[in-house]
Chains A and B, each alone.
Chain A
């Protein structure tokens, strides 16, 4: 990645850049959410946008998640391209009715008459001890709902290119950002290059094991891959980036090459997105597998507050490394 005259952007700046470019180009794009105007959002993503675009298009909303998402649905149906920000993904649960029963189903229930070109941006993630109601990873909930697209980019380039595609997609997109990645920097192409929804990114080529990871775990997995390489195990790291639709082909092709797979995410392992990936792999690459698909995710508890417990609950490089080593029949110690 990177090189030459490419600008460097943080993940946070990359989100802001995609929003701003779309809003400059297109009067139908606007943003709404809690504290996104003067304060620039609780994560600082929309800082400065009020000055550029004014309060009509950078709309602070009351604390009313259901109405804020629902209003965005209504505007989208009228042909606007709203981007609604839900401050923490934990609060998607308050808007779940509108997302699950309304946004996801209008097109279908209308027999194809309506479309809902809506993007719901949200963020979450542990690692800073916010407690049980401020850092969950709920992406799997939404992958389970036909009619929604679900994106979860893990780098500045990906977040910029995919947010653009989400805004211009004619369907409701739930767009997950990871709290701990906002400061991450990467050289990005000079011109914003839209990234097609449904295309995985292979971060690292390898021969022995494929790790399919999302969000923060992409970076933990890359670190674990480096560690495994020192032990002579060559690891390929794939980030689906788009959870729905899922680029099954890239994942399956990789596993057919390496014959071993680890799925890794920060969300609770049980019923997590990795369960679906494991099912895809076992079904399409059964004869190629040399080891059971390993799963890495959070333990089956809410997020505890005390840092020592939080650290224990969510996975890190070490858990990915150990899972990699298990697939090659070593205990990883």
Chain B
């Protein structure tokens, strides 16, 4: 099996950019939780608090023309792929100004212009089309890569296995990013996975895999760059396994009765990717506060933008059905 190795280090300047982006996502999602609890946001929502380094590290490694498919936990991926917070927030409020003009919602954030082929509320639903996108790139000789995000739980569904098999068989330029946050809703690893190391699943298809700490953005970024390089270079797909943590409930409002006492507290103290990066960068309080202020401002502005947005007309529901 080919080996994919990460190379090089990341400049401090770039890391500072990552920091600001991760903080923006965090503040955005905290605001989403708050507004949902206040009854302003319809439907139901999944935030990825704790998983920001995965989203930013991978998306920042992408090149122009690369595409992603996301999951039900999509806000971070979408923001990291370059969609403005205003548009994401407006979608969560069901407004015409939203990414999908109110047709999609939190679990269906699309931004095709920016290479976001859509979040999917069906676990594993986006994987086959990722392989298909990569197949199209290969057939047209375009130097582009298709990237699928999915969780540990998704590695149990048929589309995962069928997609990895086909991607490897046809050697398409795809990267499969598994965010292993150790829970699928209320189901812990030991109730759903008979193996500990999920890269064995890629090995079963002869696919090279990388296994990194998803809370260390430098690691995530460097591995993603290497995986993308490999795929773009015509050497076939890569499985990128990121060990990460869901520092919150499965959905906003989840009482998490199933979670062992103390787990969350401990993880928040030891596994927060933003704290880790802040320490690595040795940011002063001032520097942190400035970045935080900027994030808050953007988020507040997005809420204002969304609230001032336009409700679709009821009859708009009949549009957009066929091309």
Tell whether A78 is near chain B: CB-to-CB under 8 Å: no
A307 touches B94 (CB 8 A): yes
Tell whether B8 is near chain A: CB-to-CB under 8 Å: no
B43 touches A308 (CB 8 A): no
Which residues of the other chain, B, contact A94 by a CB distance below 8 angstroms? 122, 157-158
B102 touches A304 (CB 8 A): yes
- Complex alpha-carbon distance, A130 and B104, angstroms: 9
B149 to chain A, nearest CB (A): 15
Q: Interface segment, B129-137, B279-287, B309-317?
A: B309-317
A133 touches B107 (CB 8 A): yes
Contact pick for A60, options B123, B187, B316, CB 8 Å: B187
A131-B121, A309-B103, A309-B314 known, 20 other contacts, Cβ within 8 Å: A35-B185, A39-B186, A39-B257, A60-B191, A62-B187, A62-B192, A63-B153, A64-B157, A94-B158, A128-B42, A130-B44, A132-B121, A133-B108, A134-B107, A301-B321, A304-B312, A305-B104, A307-B94, A308-B94, A309-B94
B299 to chain A, nearest CB (A): 21
Tell whether B15 is near chain A: CB-to-CB under 8 Å: no
Which residues of the other chain, B, contact A307 by a CB distance below 8 angstroms? 42, 94
> Would you mind naming 15 contact pairs between A and B with Cβ atoms under 8 Å apart?
A34-B187, A35-B185, A35-B187, A42-B185, A63-B156, A63-B157, A63-B184, A66-B158, A90-B122, A129-B42, A133-B125, A305-B104, A306-B94, A306-B95, A312-B317
A309 touches B312 (CB 8 A): yes
B102 touches A305 (CB 8 A): yes
A305 touches B318 (CB 8 A): no
Which residues of the other chain, B, contact A319 by a CB distance below 8 angstroms? none
- Complex alpha-carbon distance, A39 and B256, angstroms: 8
- Complex alpha-carbon distance, A237 and B106, angstroms: 38
A305 touches B108 (CB 8 A): yes
Known contacts A34-B185, A38-B186, A42-B185, A312 near B314 by CB under 8 Å? yes
- Complex alpha-carbon distance, A302 and B320, angstroms: 10
- Complex alpha-carbon distance, A43 and B157, angstroms: 22
A309 touches B316 (CB 8 A): yes
B312 touches A63 (CB 8 A): no
- Complex alpha-carbon distance, A313 and B107, angstroms: 19
Tell whether B154 is near chain A: CB-to-CB under 8 Å: yes
The 9 A-B pairs with the shortest beta carbon distances in the complex, nearest first, are A305-B105, A306-B94, A312-B314, A306-B102, A39-B186, A38-B258, A62-B156, A129-B42, A309-B317
A326 to chain B, nearest CB (A): 21
* Total chain B interface residues with beta-carbon distance under 8 A: 43
Contact pick for A133, options B122, B184, B187, B193, CB 8 Å: B122
B108 touches A132 (CB 8 A): yes
Tell whether A168 is near chain B: CB-to-CB under 8 Å: no
**Chain A residue nearest in CB terms to B100:** A305
Tell whether B237 is near chain A: CB-to-CB under 8 Å: no
Tell whether B50 is near chain A: CB-to-CB under 8 Å: no
- Complex alpha-carbon distance, A66 and B94, angstroms: 33
- Complex alpha-carbon distance, A255 and B153, angstroms: 50
Mask for B276-309, Cβ within 8 A of A = 1, else 0?
0000000000000000000000000000000000
**Chain A residue nearest in CB terms to B185:** A35
- Complex alpha-carbon distance, A34 and B317, angstroms: 32
A304 touches B187 (CB 8 A): no
Mask for B93-130, Cβ within 8 A of A = 1, else 0?
01100001011111110000000000011111100000
A134 to chain B, nearest CB (A): 6
Residues of chain A from 48 to 82 with CB closer than 8 A to chain B in the complex: 60-66
- Complex alpha-carbon distance, A61 and B125, angstroms: 18
Known contacts A39-B257, A63-B123, A131-B104, A301 near B318 by CB under 8 Å? yes
Most chain A beta-carbon neighbours within 10 Å: one of B103, B120, B153, B321: B103
Which residues of the other chain, A, contact B42 by a CB distance below 8 angstroms? 128-129, 305-307
- Complex alpha-carbon distance, A130 and B121, angstroms: 10
A311 touches B185 (CB 8 A): no
A308 touches B187 (CB 8 A): no
Tell whether A91 is near chain B: CB-to-CB under 8 Å: yes
B124 touches A129 (CB 8 A): no
A123 to chain B, nearest CB (A): 14
Residues of chain A from 271 to 302 with CB closer than 8 A to chain B in the complex: 299-302
- Complex alpha-carbon distance, A136 and B182, angstroms: 30
Which residues of the other chain, B, contact A39 by a CB distance below 8 angstroms? 185-186, 257-258
Contact pick for B317, options A37, A131, A299, CB 8 Å: A299
Which residues of the other chain, A, contact B257 by a CB distance below 8 angstroms? 38-39
Contact pick for B311, options A62, A91, A301, A308, CB 8 Å: A308
A299 touches B156 (CB 8 A): no
- Complex alpha-carbon distance, A44 and B94, angstroms: 27
A64 touches B156 (CB 8 A): yes
- Complex alpha-carbon distance, A301 and B103, angstroms: 11
Residues of chain B from 148 to 193 with CB closer than 8 A to chain A in the complex: 153-154, 156-158, 184-187, 191-193
Which residues of the other chain, B, contact A306 by a CB distance below 8 angstroms? 42, 94-95, 102-103, 105, 311-312
Which residues of the other chain, A, contact B156 by a CB distance below 8 angstroms? 62-64
Contact pick for B43, options A65, A130, A300, A311, CB 8 Å: A130
Which residues of the other chain, B, contact A63 by a CB distance below 8 angstroms? 123-124, 153-154, 156-157, 184, 192
Mask for A115-134, Cβ within 8 A of B = 1, else 0?
00000000000001111111
